[in-house]
Structure 1
Amino acid sequence: MDKTDYQKSLSYAKFQVIKKALNTILDNVFTPHLEIVFFTRFNGVVMPDYLKESYPTQMLIILQHQFFGLKVLEDKFSVSLSFRGKQEQVTVPFFAISEFHDKISGDTLVFSVDSDKEYESEKCAEKSSNGSIISIDQLYDK
């Protein structure tokens, strides 16, 4: 097994943890607190155009109090969230996720970008020197 195969294997295991966490909140009555950061231009991400314009590289969604219709599939999940007072459905392939935070357990999963996957834009984000992901747009004054 080479380094790339090893990284893919670890990412797959992390995605299984996310799927398990999402499936768990489907079946329980407690209030979760999951924060999921994903690439908005990743192939397979489905969200309204105005949200892609507002979040051209990455977006953070929080599954805590006001989310509806969560569906967990083999390779993605979808959920309805409120934006600007309107419910909108967002579909996120697991491979589009860059960070996953479970605030109840304190667990955090961080993913490296898989260069084998296709993006709608050439470059979604740059890593800063401290390792956190920042949007290129944040580097420019608006």
Structure 2
Amino acid sequence: MSEHIEYGQLMHSAMRGLIRKVLTDVAQNGLPGEHHFFITFDTTDPDAALADWLRERYPEEMTVVIQHWFENLEVDEDGFSITLNFGNSPEPLYIPLDAIRTFVDPSVEFGLRFETQDEDDEDEEELEELSEDNTEEAPKADAEVVSLDQFRK
């Protein structure tokens, strides 16, 4: 057992599970109402599959739109495959869930943003430094009990 709970990893896993569920429902039933998705993903992910010309055009990340025209949406445990239209040229893609950076459904103002591991590490280091600074500098105050009896009716 680790020395602390990995809340960030647990939250990311839960959010990716939500995306998996939403995409599975869309694969089975289509997009309901005005729903549509903007999905930004890391094109450098070793499990991402896209045409060479797309990878050259988007060497770090790419945003795809799932709205009017898409085919062959299939979701598995680790990601999803889909065929999208790029300038009247259908292109198959495979996007791993772990490669997703943002998932947005503007029709209902819903969005998820995933921090990269480097950003998480920097945030954690900042928190540790702040915690250490506060421990060293801030004197421990004695607790004060405040009676609320005077405000009771």
Aligned mates of 1:41, 1:103 — CA distance in 2:
26
- Structure 2: tracts of 5 or more residues without a match: 119-153
* Number of residue equivalences: 114
Show the 5 A alignment for 1:39-50.
Answer: 39-50=42-53
Structure with larger Rg: 2
Query: Is structure 2 residue 82 aligned with structure 1 residue 71?
Result: no
- Structure 1: tracts of 5 or more residues without a match: 116-142
- Match of residue 136 from structure 1: none
Deviation at 1:84, TM superposition (A): 2.9
Show the 5 A alignment for 1:31-46.
Answer: 32-46=35-49
- Match of residue 138 from structure 2: none
Which has a greater percent of strand? 1
Which has a greater percent of helix? 2
Q: Let me know the Cα RMSD of the aligned residues.
A: 1.5
Aligned mates of 1:44, 1:104 — CA distance in 2:
29
The residue matched to 2:108 in structure 1 has which SS? Answer: coil
Q: Percent identity?
A: 31
Deviation at 1:106, TM superposition (A): 1.7
Q: Where does structure 1 differ by over 4 angstroms across 4 or more consecutive aligned residues? A: none
Aligned mates of 2:108, 2:28 — CA distance in 1:
17
Q: What is the TM-score when the length of structure 2 is the normalising length? A: 0.69
The residue matched to 2:111 in structure 1 has which SS? Answer: strand
